[in-house]
Amino acid sequence: MDTTCDFKFLNERIATYFNPFYEGEYLVIQTYPREMSLRVSKRTFDYESALSHERIQNLSHDHTSFSLRIFYQQQLWTVTEGKPNKISKQQDWKIAGEFLNANYDENAEGEIVVCDCSYPFFRALMIGDENNEFWQPITCLVNDQMREIDNCPNCNFSLIENEVDEDDFEDPIPSACVGCQNYHGIEYGDNFLVCGIHPYGWDDNECPDYSNK
């Protein structure tokens, strides 16, 4: 017997949200702030429609950025003139259920943390050889679980040396770079490379080379 929930899937907008992404499909995704799961604002096979939606979303939101991606070879890619350009740092990560449950369990000794590139990992409280406690990042994806990591598998950002208390946390992304596809944001030795165009960043909030495509 059909249920109320079944009838919801007659609505194309609701039905496509639950379907897997298809080869060549354009997705307008939220790129800032990043969440544990991918936030898709629009999905379509029409490039012009997706491009228009991306522009409208960015104009109508002051503190949120959206960018256009294409699903190509089972991954999200940036788009140039409707074609795949390069693999996106932000992907549709699938977090294993047990880690999601632990993240919302007040008694669990750990939490899910999202790297600046969008990769989620689980920060677990561990006991060392001398009974000292420390926080160890471990993988928590459906197809990659319980692997101890010191660097982000997606962008190689150090998850140990750069770990800070949440109360002292400051957004490392300069305000002029939020949502910009040129932003690099990786440390090389003692040097922090903001982007290839402006290695040390831009002084004010309106960088002339800003791009969210």
| Whole-number pLDDT of residue 13 | 46
User: How many residues would you count in the chain?
Assistant: 213
Residue with tokens 């459906």: 142
3-state secondary structure of 144: strand
**Tens of pLDDT, residues 113-137:** 999 889 999 999 988 777 788 899 9
| Whole-number pLDDT of residue 161 | 58
Alpha carbons 1 and 48: distance in angstroms, whole number:
40
Residue 25 burial (C-beta neighbours within 10 Å; 0-12, 13-18, 19+): middle
* Per-domain boundaries in the chain: 4-87, 97-163, 169-213
| Whole-number pLDDT of residue 184 | 83
| Whole-number pLDDT of residue 3 | 53
| Whole-number pLDDT of residue 136 | 93
| Whole-number pLDDT of residue 54 | 94
In this structure, which amino acid lies at residue 82? Answer: G
Alpha carbons 7 and 26: distance in angstroms, whole number:
26
- Residues in the chain predicted with pLDDT less than 70, given as ranges, are 1-19, 161-172, 189-190, 204-205, 213
**Tens of pLDDT, residues 60-92:** 988 889 999 999 999 999 999 999 999 999 999
How far is CA 152 from each of CA 20, 66, 173, rounded to the nearest angstrom? 26, 23, 17
Residue 51, H or E segment:
helix 47-60
Residue with tokens 């939020």: 178
Q: How many CA atoms lie within 13 A of 147 on its CB side?
A: 12
Q: Which of 80, 33, 198, 178 is nearest to 209 (CA)?
A: 198
pTM for the predicted model, two decimal places: 0.64
How far is CA 74 from each of CA 23, 87, 155, rounded to the nearest angstrom? 7, 11, 19
Taking CB atoms within 8 Å and a gap of at least 24, the contacts of 132-135 are: 135/163
Alpha carbons 26 and 77: distance in angstroms, whole number:
10
